[in-house]
Chains A and B, each alone.
Chain A
Amino acid sequence: MNRFDWQAYVDGALNPDEQARHESRLAQDEVARREVEGLRALKREVRKAVLSEPVPKATLLAGLKRAKRHPLALPSRIAVAACVAMALFVGSYVFNQADPVKLDRSPVTEEFATSNAIVAAQWVKEQTGLPAPVMKMRCGAKIRAAKYGDGWAGYQFEHDGRRYRLFMSRCNKPFDGARVMTKAGKEFYVGKGIGWKQNGIAYYLRGGDEETRWRMAMECVANIERQHANRF
């Protein structure tokens, strides 16, 4: 090696011979010395700046404990058993009110609690093959659970202490009997909740109050559109 690699020198990535050759050069080369000092200062300041940022240790530790109990982290048979047990428990309240909108009304097959919108979407995708969108809601609605049954999947949200449920399905005519209205140039189907079709999937948002439901629906539409555009 004929040239001097000051970056490798500063990073301690040279072998002992090369290290010695660089040190000997440094003793007689003012420009090289300044370069090395500059690199060291940059490394030092970057490290200092980043390490000054707070790290949410308690949240991360809680996440670590949660990771071990997460359905996706369990061996599949245990996960299925746990989820089926949970599904039997919670299945009864899904689609239990009269509503002109008919999405698939099969019982819940599996459900798991998560506050992570990405994990929820990933789980639904893995379980059902539906292109489940990541629903991070700016309006403040937090995801609490994901679930699916035969032909449908859904998320459960919480906003201001009220529960909302977003269902998605590939069924063709889910909104027969619903009132049709247009908002922001898009057709919506209104029953007890707000339904719409987007990229071959029917979505239906229920629960909570109407104003928040509309806000969430519009945000869902935007999320789905953005993610669909990124996918292709």
Chain B
Amino acid sequence: MADTRSGIGIGFIERIGRAAPRRDFERAVKDELPTLYRVAKRMVRNADDAEDLVQQCLVKAFRAWDRFDGNHLRSWLIRIMRNELASNKRSLAAQAVDAELDESIVSQEPFWDEVTWRVDADHVLRELEELPAEFRLTLHLCDVEQFTYEEAAEAMGVPIGTVRSRLFRARSLLRERLAGIVCFVGSRP
């Protein structure tokens, strides 16, 4: 008798256990919305598409919420968003090819010691948008959202070593581009 009750009880708890997280979805995800939007915007580079992508991600995330293991919510959501982007036929393959840039174009010359920061936020954003997609996303996750390498690797579905190298190349490229702007701004009358 006790076993039977226990069996029913466990079944009931399991059902409730599966249902309960759905109620937590809104509360858990709410705080991640700004991050999701910013990351989406880095991925698609315009506000309307970013909103659409976040919306798609939320629908899929809610649908899969029962299967979420509770670890690294932001990374999980961003992974969903990347998958959605891929399924939207915004060719990730093309972006990946994009990312295979020649490292030799990266200058290692530090320019910070000779110039003070003379670029504004618009310059930074514009140059950031020009980076290859995977570099842009890596830089965003690590420098803006302050993900650890592990979190960024999980979000992008790549090894930690790839995050490190993409980050290095992204920063070097951005630095290179901003150096050009600083020189240009500096040379103006």
Contacts and interface: CB of A to CB of B under 8 A. Distances in A.
B26 A64 contact: yes
Contact of A116 (B22, B41, B56, B110): B56
Given A57-B33, A227-B89, A46 B128 contact: yes
Given A47-B144, A64-B33, A56 B47 contact: yes
B153 to A, nearest CB: 12
B128 A49 contact: yes
B167 interface: yes
B33 A43 contact: no
Contacts of A176: none
Interface stretch (B3-11, B68-76, B98-106, B135-143): B135-143
B25 interface: yes
A116 B52 contact: yes
Given A64-B33, A72-B63, A230-B89, A50 B56 contact: no
A117 B88 CA distance: 11
Interface in B166-189: 167-168, 171, 174-175, 178
Contacts of A51: 144
Interface string A112-126: 000011110010000
B125 interface: yes
Interface residues on B, range: 35 or more
A140 interface: no
A151 interface: no
Given A41-B117, A49-B125, A231-B89, A13 B29 contact: no
Given A42-B174, A53-B125, A55-B38, A63 B112 contact: no
A217 to B, nearest CB: 22
A27 interface: no
A72 B87 CA distance: 15
B34 A230 contact: no
B142 A11 contact: yes
B43 interface: no
Interface string B23-50: 0011001100110111001000001000
Interface of B: 22, 25-26, 29-30, 33-34, 36-38, 41, 47, 51-56, 58-63, 84, 87-89, 91, 110-113, 117, 119, 121-122, 124-125, 128, 139-140, 142-144, 146, 148-149, 164, 167-168, 171, 174-175, 178
In order of increasing CB-CB distance, the 6 nearest A-B pairs are A67-B58, A38-B112, A49-B121, A49-B124, A60-B33, A73-B62
16 contacts: A8-B164, A13-B148, A13-B149, A31-B110, A45-B124, A46-B174, A47-B146, A50-B125, A50-B144, A51-B144, A55-B33, A60-B36, A64-B26, A64-B29, A66-B58, A122-B56
